[in-house]
Every structure is written in C-alpha cells, then in structure tokens.
Amino acid sequence: MRIMAIDYGDQRIGIAVSDAMAILVGDAWTMKEWKMDRAVKKIAEEVKARGVGLLVLGLPKNMDGTEGERAAISREFAAKLTEATGLEVKFWDERRSSVEAHAILHANGRKEKDHRKNVDAVAASLMLEGYLRSL
C-alpha cells in the first residue's frame, strides 16, 4: 500500500508518496495551490491515480507542543481529505521539518532563493521517512 505525506501550506503543498511496499519514499513534488477545496480535489486525483491507501498530514505544533491556528486549519484540511478520498488521515508532528529541509537543500549547494521551489517537497519527504520508520 502506498502512503502519501502532505506538508500543507498557505501557498504551496509538499507531497511525497512511498513505493508500493511502503518502505521508501518514491516521488516528491510541490503543488502550488492556495485554495483548500481545489487542493483537496487535486490531491484526491493523485491518490486515486497512484493507488494511495493512507494519508499522513503534517500537524504544525508550537515548540511547546500546543496547537495553534495552523493546526486547526490542518485538521479542517484532513477532514476534507477524508471526505474526498475515503482514506484515514494520520497526523505527523511537523515541527522543524521545514528547517531540516532548508538545511538539506543548503548542504546540497542549492541557493537560498531557490529553496522555495523544493523545500515543501523535501519537508513532505522527511515526514514520510519519519512515518515509515515509525512503522
């Protein structure tokens, strides 16, 4: 069963999908979309096309572990994803995922101004790797 991890943001959404055995991260990309309903529709299409059986959604928490406004938006997004796909959505603590993603891009020689294009896909990959390791 393939697993899809989603790093939901205001302007871009990072997406990573595992291989069929749910062992490794396969594809990762960034979707430019800021309307929640359109994003849900596009993700539902990818879920169907790729045979995804589980969704992992980043849950933004404050550094003290509490949930703020962004977490509430992510929970709303999760409910819409479940409605559109019929799949369970597991939440994954995404604290520091973007910071780690920027560090990875920097270490690989990417210029800071080019990070925006890839940072969300890298963050989704990191979340998916963490979830797969937890299994």
pLDDT in tens, 57-103: 999 887 787 888 889 999 999 999 999 999 999 999 875 556 565 55
d(CA 26, CA 99): 22
pLDDT in tens, 117-132: 566 888 899 999 999 9
Question: Which residue blocks in the chain are alpha helix, DSSP H?
Answer: 36-50, 69-85, 97-107, 115-134
Angle (deg, nearest 10), helices 115-134 and 97-107: 120
Buried b (16+ CB within 10 A) or exposed e, 62-97: eeeeeeeebbeebeebbebbeebbebebebbebeeb
Q: What is the mean pLDDT of residues 25-42?
A: 94
Query: Quick one: pLDDT band at residue 106, thresholds 50, 70, 90?
Result: low
| CATH code reported for the domain at 2-134 | 3.30.420.140
Supply the DSSP string of 81-96, one letter for each residue.
HHHHH---EEEEE-TT
Question: What is the structure's pLDDT at 115?
Answer: 47
d(CA 57, CA 74): 8
For the chain, the domains span: 2-134
Considering only residues 38 and 69, tell me which one the structure prediction assigns the higher pLDDT. 38
What is the token pair recorded at 63?
């550094």
Question: What is the structure's pLDDT at 86?
Answer: 98
| Cα 125 → chain centroid | 7
